[in-house]
Structure formats: C-alpha cells, structure tokens
C-alpha cells in the first residue's frame, strides 16, 4: 500500500520557516526515505519529516498516532546531542505545528525548535485571570439579626426595626 502522494505543497509551506532557522538541504524521496529536509543550524543539525494532516489541533498523543511511519523512520537516525529529529505537521490551510521525536514519543516545540511547556502555560494563564470568587452569605434563621422575617416584622437589612410599608 502506498503512503500517499509526496507532500510537495507542504514542503513549500514549511520552507520559509526552515530557511529562517538555517541552511536547508532538500532530501530526495526514494523507497524508505527518512526525511524531507535537513537544516544546518549553528551548533545543531535538524532532520525534518513534513507530514500532511486533517487533524492539526489534536493532542500530542493523537498526533503521534497519526504519524507512526514518520516517527519510526526518524527513530532509526542515530542519537546525538547536536541533532534534532522533528516532525512538522501541515494542514490543508497552510498552518504548521512542530514536534520533536524523543525516546518516549513526541514533544511539541515552537517554530524555532524550543520546547513548549504546556503545563507552565496553563498555570500562567490561570494566574493572569484569577478565578472569580463569589462570597457566600452565611445562612441565619428567620428573625436573626440582619435578616428580615417573611412577614416583615423582624430586623431589616437596612438597620430599621422592620421593612417599611
């Protein structure tokens, strides 16, 4: 079974991001190819596999399920501290999402190759707008201080002896 057409349009979409990161080397597609392009950056080499997707905004685990062949191919590349193995997902509208292949699966990165810490972002978003706290009014029996009775004879919230007529 064929894996589908080669992602020429996706490569065209991803090329400006790759050129912004460094010197780009396009790879020839052949049976068993591992990557679409190699980016030579200062102090690092990035090997990129570009994949088309219909579900770009899936969870990271969901994205890993979508690209098993790409992850398996990049996992064959020997590990090195100066080498980054990445999958760039492209949807049909030209949006990109970036992932790094690690031993445990995928982690999301930004367009510059830095890790995105989603837990810290979620905590930061909560700190920016604290949850709204609604004060609870203590319940008091009818006729107690500050609570008018149903017949209007008890103390008033406004400090009077009863509710005025």
Cα 65 to its chain centre, rounded Å, is: 16
Interior CA angle at 27 toward 92 and 81, to 5°?
100
- Other C-beta atoms lying within 10 Å of the C-beta of residue 5: 8
Above 80 in pLDDT, residue 13? Answer: yes
State the pLDDT at residue 118.
57
Greatest extent of the chain over all pairs of C-alpha atoms, in Å: 92
Model confidence pLDDT, tens digit, residues 55-99:
999 999 999 999 999 999 999 999 999 999 999 999 999 999 999
State the pLDDT at residue 29.
79
Comparison of pLDDT for 26 and 120, the residue scoring more: 26
Domains in the chain with CATH codes: 8-117 (3.40.1350.10)
Above 70 in pLDDT, residue 147? Answer: no
State the pLDDT at residue 128.
44
């Amino acid at each position: 079974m064929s894996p589908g057409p080669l992602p020429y349009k996706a490569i065209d979409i991803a090329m400006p991001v790759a050129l912004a990161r460094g010197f780009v080397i396009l790879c020839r597609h052949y049976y068993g190819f591992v990557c679409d392009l190699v980016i030579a950056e200062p102090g690092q080499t990035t090997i990129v596999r570009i994949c088309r997707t219909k579900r770009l905004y899936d969870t990271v685990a969901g994205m890993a399920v979508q690209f098993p062949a790409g992850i398996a191919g990049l996992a064959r590349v020997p590990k090195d501290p100066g080498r980054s193995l990445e999958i760039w997902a492209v949807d049909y509208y030209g949006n990109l999402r970036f992932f790094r292949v690690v031993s445990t699966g995928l982690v999301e990165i930004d367009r510059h190759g830095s890790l995105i810490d989603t837990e810290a972002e979620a905590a930061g978003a909560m700190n920016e707008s604290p949850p709204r706290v609604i004060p609870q009014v203590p319940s008091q029996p009818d006729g107690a201080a500050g609570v008018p009775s149903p017949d209007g004879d008890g103390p008033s919230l406004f400090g009077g002896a009863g509710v005025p007529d």
